[in-house]
Chain A
């Protein structure tokens, strides 16, 4: 009986390897991070990273499966082997490198505060005293405020959102006075109505390499050097052959190609 089960299993494995000639890579991403990755009205996953990601998968000769979840679930899911990689504008930071490995830098990620025009809020912390700033949970923006400007000394309240979409809603309703986010998604929100409602980027981009890292990259499980090497190769490919720039241009009036 044991033998029979065993041979049946072997047969099954053979069949499944035969029908899946291409390796499947499950990539974790977000469903609400326009314009990088978001679900359109029909529920289809769209966005700049999805487009380029699919291109890279084709060049790697693997079948990519997109899996959407909340940002804070991505690394735990990666470690639990529910996904094999993360492509979700995740900044490559020393903190995260303790738990996962990263590919080479995929995009740069400047960060900006967004606030009402004429509110007096700028990139100077003093202008935020007594105000509430919204950030996405588990993001570098959250850790910036937690580490550099803790409420006790700065007088700045921080409200943490599961998704950035909710933070924009609260900014519009006035529950919070500013949102701290990547300049790219901020630009997208401003151009889709935020500007019309009287909001704008507040002051210059904020720089702090120790917290924000050099840019975003693709995360893989610690020690998965094969997949990391494949992604490194694929990223270099799209950066070199101009396809990254071509897609970039359709989404943003500025370049996020790493130097």
Chain B
């Protein structure tokens, strides 16, 4: 324990830098991923095949492959093509951080879309009928009734995805991003011990605990009109 305290007192600036990168990856990928997940879920639930199919393909591609593989393909795979290096895409995958963010976002979007789709299926038919009876158009029913209700229904699973995403951000360290895991690895290399990794583990636990508190609060707010 003394060793951990000593390590913390010596290297907290580096760990803080790493933590900052990890949190940036987490928050940005969650916001962007969620924004992408809603239209994906709506498209996926569409009765029209040509709308549902692309979304379905996207989701099975990203849910069917390991995140690590996706990160490697985006970072090392795409970099081998000269036309990628000469295109605007290089702005996204040319550097390690945006590349990791892209992979994390797309991956999370696929999982969240699946959760929200489940929520959409769970919206009671009566609520949709009531909205239609009020004279709302299909688009309005989807946007004002189905989507908010679906998000409320899937809130517990969405919250869980956020906690899982925290741990996924550690994979960014495999493509030279110095996030919390990356920094901890560097520190443990210098000292030839695993103390720094242990310390990073403790920090992850604290963040995960805060995240689950926040998501539980969010859940309650989303569903506050529901009788319990």
Contact = CB atoms under 8 A, between A and B. Distances in A.
Interface of A: 72, 75-76, 79, 99, 137-138, 159-162, 166, 169-170, 172-175
Given A99-B192, A170-B79, A175 B94 contact: yes
A174 B194 CA distance: 34
A136 B50 CA distance: 48
Contacts of A79: 192-193
B76 interface: yes
Contacts of A160: 176, 186
A164 to B, nearest CB: 13
B223 interface: no
A79 B191 CA distance: 12
Contacts of A138: 189
Interface residues of B, number: 16
A176 B107 CA distance: 27
B9 interface: no
Interface in B112-144: none
B174 interface: yes
Given A160-B186, A172-B79, A175-B79, 19 more contacts: A76-B188, A76-B192, A76-B193, A79-B193, A99-B192, A137-B186, A137-B189, A159-B176, A160-B176, A161-B176, A162-B174, A166-B76, A166-B175, A166-B176, A169-B80, A170-B76, A170-B79, A173-B80, A173-B85
B185 A72 contact: yes
Contacts of B79: 169-170, 172-173, 175
A169 B176 contact: no
B194 A76 contact: yes
Interface string B171-192: 0001110000000011011001
Q: Which 5 A-B pairs have the closest CB atoms?
A: A173-B79, A138-B189, A72-B189, A75-B192, A99-B192
Interface of B: 76, 79-80, 85, 94-95, 174-176, 185-186, 188-189, 192-194
Nearest to A174: B85
A166 B192 CA distance: 23
Residue of B79, B94, B176 with most partner-chain A CB within 10 A: B176
7 contacts: A72-B189, A137-B186, A160-B176, A160-B186, A169-B76, A173-B80, A175-B94
A150 to B, nearest CB: 14
Nearest to A80: B194
B90 to A, nearest CB: 9
A156 to B, nearest CB: 16
Nearest to B174: A162
A175 B185 CA distance: 22
B188 to A, nearest CB: 7
A166 B177 CA distance: 13
Contacts of B94: 175
B178 to A, nearest CB: 8
Contacts of A75: 192
B81 to A, nearest CB: 9
A170 to B, nearest CB: 7
Nearest to A76: B192
Contacts of B76: 166, 169-170, 173
B5 to A, nearest CB: 21
A172 B77 CA distance: 12
A15 to B, nearest CB: 35
